[in-house]
Structure 1
Amino acid sequence: MSDKPILRYNANERTNHWLVAILFILAALSGLALFHPALFWLSHLFGGGPWTRILHPFMGVLMFVFFVGLVLRFWRANYFIANDRLWLKRIDRVMRNEEQGVPPIGKYNPGQKLLFWTLLLCMLVLLVSGVVIWRAYFSSYFTIDSIRLATLLHALAAFVLVLSIIVHIYAGIWIKGSLSAMLHGWVSRAWAKKHHELWYRQVTGDKPAEPPINKKG
């Protein structure tokens, strides 16, 4: 078997990912500054309260636009397949790093797929609710009850999004090689075969080993 590494993410995909990550951090910090008076000191990172209010929605919209770029690239790979359900049932083995008895999976494991669709849902809720409460341009078109509901949904979606990203970061660090793949783009064949065997066989054309034939007599 060749030792040549496998390209997991090209330069455009990695750039897109890190732009979303940077904008997420900026939007999260500015959003926290506006969320509670105890966190208002974070607004100094953006030039004060008025500038934080101005910049936060624009950063959120940019984050959504770049995230759509990731969705267009990866949505097909995040469809659930039959092996995913069995993988989830044996998640305890995955957590113990015991691969025996765990079914092979594609480019993304079921946990990553759940995260992908959760992020997409949160982004959509944040966009729609953010438009409703965007005072400078749109809030005048909505009733006060709609604005209150949108504010609640915006905070809830942001909370779920932040927790999801924390899980994403932890998983990326916990599974050795994942973070490196998003930094440099390449993974070893051994890593790909161990963690994403179906994807590995798809990109390499390598077929599973034939079971030994029991000869009688």
Structure 2
Amino acid sequence: MSKTDYEDVERGDAVVPGRPVKVHRYSGGARVNHWITAICLVLLALSGLSMFHPSLFFLSALFGGGQWTRTIHPWIGVVLFFSFFGLFLRFWSANLWKREDSQWIAQANDVVSGHEEKLPEVGKYNAGQKIVFWSMSTLIIILIASGIVIWSQYFGSYTTIQQQRWALLIHSIAAVVAICVWIVHVYAAIWVKGTINAMTRGTVTGGWAWRHHRKWLRELVSMRKGKPTGTTTHTTHST
């Protein structure tokens, strides 16, 4: 069976029969990678906001004061870049845009109202998750590129003051947008019950997968039974 038959399945994804059915969604390595990235984002947001406006300078106390904040902030950014790069390599293929994603976006009202039975079946990630993934991928590239330009300790001699000013403006705007995207991501994870468990324990119930990511679950069941994804298969969806 070719990889394209199971385009939404990633390494480690599997269905485990039982009561309830368990579905392995994230490996231990993926979860560690995710939480390192999340912690870096929080630390960068707090340290960055402390330098963003005088009224937020009190946040620098979390990092030992203004000087330490300016020193630590860019190094956390470096860790974030490599950590997110690890996530990107793991998840980019399952986040490619599909036809059903456009339909999912068109039915955004059903998403908000909780009428998921009216939505098209989606793979491991829905359109909203994919938008967050590609938005963060783009924003982190912008942040690291602009951050290098304004990292005067190491790169100040390679850029002009005018370039640094533009880079600082771009960096600030991208950071604010990234914080907003991160807030949406966290809110959605809390809103959809069971999502946080997936990234802490690595598994979800069959019922959760059936309700939120039915196409992905069908592919996993097909893999287990050695059938093409187009074959009709009975799926247990216990909650």
Number of residue pairs matched?
210
Q: Which protein has greater RCO, CA pairs closer than 8 Å, 6+ apart?
A: 2
CA–CA distance in 2 between the matches of 1:41 and 1:93?
42
Task: Please say which of residues 83-92 and 67-76 is displaced more in the overlay.
Answer: 83-92
In the alignment, residue 97 of structure 2 is paired with which amino acid?
F
Is the counterpart of residue 161 in structure 1 residue 171 in structure 2?
A: no
Correspondent of 1:171 among 167, 184, 188 = 188
Correspondent of 1:123 among 126, 140, 148 = 140
Q: Deviations over 1:108-146 (max 9, x none)?
A: 000100110000111000000000000100022111111
Identity %: 45
Is the counterpart of residue 100 in structure 1 residue 128 in structure 2?
A: no
In the alignment, residue 181 of structure 1 is paired with which amino acid?
A
Aligned residue in 2 for 1:85: 102
Is the counterpart of residue 180 in structure 1 residue 201 in structure 2?
A: no
Matches within 5 A, 1:4-19: 4-19=21-36
CA–CA distance in 2 between the matches of 1:114 and 1:192?
20
Shift of 1:96: 1.3
Is the counterpart of residue 58 in structure 1 residue 75 in structure 2?
A: yes
Shift of 1:99: 2.4
In the alignment, residue 43 of structure 1 is paired with which amino acid?
S
Is the counterpart of residue 144 in structure 1 residue 161 in structure 2?
A: yes
Q: What is the aligned-residue RMSD (CA, Å)?
A: 1.5
TM-score by length of 1: 0.93
SS at the partner of 2:116? coil
CA–CA distance in 1 between the matches of 2:78 and 2:178?
15
Shift of 1:209: 6.0
Q: Deviations over 1:148-196 (max 9, x none)?
A: 1100000010000000000000000000111111111100011101100
TM-score by length of 2: 0.85
Query: Structure 1: which 4+ aligned runs deviate by more than 2 Å?
Result: 1-4, 206-210
CA–CA distance in 2 between the matches of 1:125 and 1:208?
45
Shift of 1:208: 4.2
Is the counterpart of residue 30 in structure 1 residue 47 in structure 2?
A: yes
SS at the partner of 2:154? coil
Q: Deviations over 1:39-78 (max 9, x none)?
A: 1111111111111111000001101110000000000000
CA–CA distance in 2 between the matches of 1:93 and 1:115?
19
Correspondent of 1:42 among 51, 59, 71 = 59
Shift of 1:4: 2.6
Structure 1 unaligned spans of 5+: 211-217
Aligned residue in 1 for 2:85: 68
CA–CA distance in 1 between the matches of 2:67 and 2:118?
56
